[in-house]
Amino acid sequence: MENAFNSHPEVKSAIVYGTKKFQSSLLVEPVNIERSKKSLLDESLPTIKTANISCPAHARMNRDITNGNSSVDKGASSDVQGTIIQTISNLEGFENLSLSDNFFEHGLDSLGMISLTKAINSVFKSQNPPRDSIRDPMIHAYPSPEKLARALSNSAEDGNEDHGEMQEEYECFISDLPIVARPSTLVIGPKVSLLTESTRSLGSYILSNLLEEDKTCKVYCLNRGEDIEKRQLTSSSSKGLFTDFSRVRLLSIATGDTEAWLGIKLYQYKELLNEVTHIIHNAWHVDFNVSFSQMSATRVRRVRQLIESSAHSRFGPSIHFISSMSTVGSWDEQGWLPLILKLSKYLKVLPSSLGPLGAVDWIPVDVLRKVVYELVTSSKHGTLKSNSTIESSSGLPRVYHIVNPKRTTYSDAMLPRLQSRSSHYTLPRIGTALKILEFYEGLVEKEKEGRTQVWLDTEKAVEGSSTLTSMDPIDGDCVNNRMRQWGYVRNVHAE
């Protein structure tokens, strides 16, 4: 890069700096110091493009960064779409982006996203009055100039348009749903379960419980990717779970999202139609960075295919859809609660409240897998009573809130434990914890607005699970175990 610019006739000298930094910088001394920055940048653009070809992504120069004015016409900044188009067109490879083009399909990476948000925010701040800044998740959620501009306009009309798009997607999926008059067939012989995402954390626990509780059952496991046998063995053995897979059929789903028959081969699909008595869909991952249109192309489509397979199958199995799962096993250190505690350690203070998220109604995963098994098997054999039977006969779905029915709160269960163990904390790296500031600020705002904790009704779940009925509330031992998993305490015993 330096050599390319030092050979430019209008450049006296150039230095590239930024070793071990996320973004490199270029310092240019022009031959003619009276020349405007804009004209020099315009003339240097071909040199930048040529030099970028031989550079890795992190070392490339983007014009919007080298140009202090972001090279966006301020006169057009009131036009949000125009602002976005002009801004992203200054990034390498995005010169011809149209309004409907997807940023990420055209190769927008993390560095490019930082450049885009920085440049757009720079323009927004210059407006009168200044507009609110945008953040990376918004670009994930609205990944085209057209969608991003509509979201940023923040008008009621645009909100209705977004809702209209989702309504159209929804109607597209339900318009030709299969209609079946026959009732589900009562299963008398061995159970045959279809389980999706069995190699993931909760999936491996559910698989283990299916095999342990019923020695005659058979399980079909659908997973994406290659080497699923190796991945399943690694996932299960690392947790000390059941690893005799002689009654397990592991099937690999095609990586695309337009394939019929659940992404497996036709003869395999016919086997499922003839044998499966229970369906457990464990492949719905919560990700607020994914837009509805992206979800409909992948996750919603798979759910629709599962509905079709149930309708066309021999036994008409119910679909047990596991949704909105928070975490399983050892809580991810990048989860919101561990990050809040990292930040608390760094600041040497603890939040007195978590606002609308203050409920402590966790379920240990070894208990959760038993609850899932009991609900799947009991609902199939008609052992649920009260409103559950009414819902079943009317064709409405049954919804179970699988949370601890004996609830406590952060203030009662965790805050005293955290305060008393402060001397045992180990100092974590704080960098990633800064990401949680906006999240926590949102909790504070919700609390100020009077939003309270939402308590989930567990009546139906308790009715179908004896394990859930006998659960104890989260106590000091469980809190200490969580803190050990996060690396905040060591060798601490509950009091």
Model confidence pLDDT, tens digit, residues 374-432: 999 885 444 444 444 445 555 678 899 999 998 877 666 666 655 565 444 444 444 44
CA pair distance 18, 8, nearest whole angstrom = 22
Question: For position 146, what pLDDT does the model report?
Answer: 81
| Confidence at 321, pLDDT banded by 50, 70, 90 | very high
**Longest distance between any two alpha carbons in the chain, whole Å:** 89
Range from 186-200, 336-350, 356-370 that averages highest in pLDDT? 186-200
- The residue among 427 and 471 whose pLDDT is bigger is 471
74-154 belongs to CATH 1.10.1200.10: yes
Q: Check if the beta carbon of residue 321 is closer than 8 Å to that of residue 372.
A: no
pLDDT of 58-68, one tens digit each? 566 665 544 43
Overall CATH class of domain 186-325: alpha beta
Mean pLDDT for all residues in the chain: 74
Delimit the domains of the chain by residue range.
Answer: 2-61, 74-154, 186-325, 329-495
pLDDT of 278-312, one tens digit each? 999 998 876 555 667 767 777 888 999 999 999 99
Judge residue 166's burial from the number of C-beta atoms within 10 Å of its C-beta, 0-12 exposed, 13-18 middle, 19 or more buried: middle
- The residue among 28 and 353 whose pLDDT is bigger is 28
Amino acid at 333: E
Question: For position 493, what pLDDT does the model report?
Answer: 44
**Shared fold status for 74-154 and 186-325:** no
Collapsing DSSP to helix, strand or coil, 413 comes out as: helix
Q: Check if the beta carbon of residue 15 is closer than 8 Å to that of residue 27.
A: yes
- The residue among 212 and 129 whose pLDDT is bigger is 212
pLDDT of 258-282, one tens digit each? 678 999 999 999 999 999 999 999 9
Strands (E) across 310-435 are located at: 319-321, 359-360, 408-409
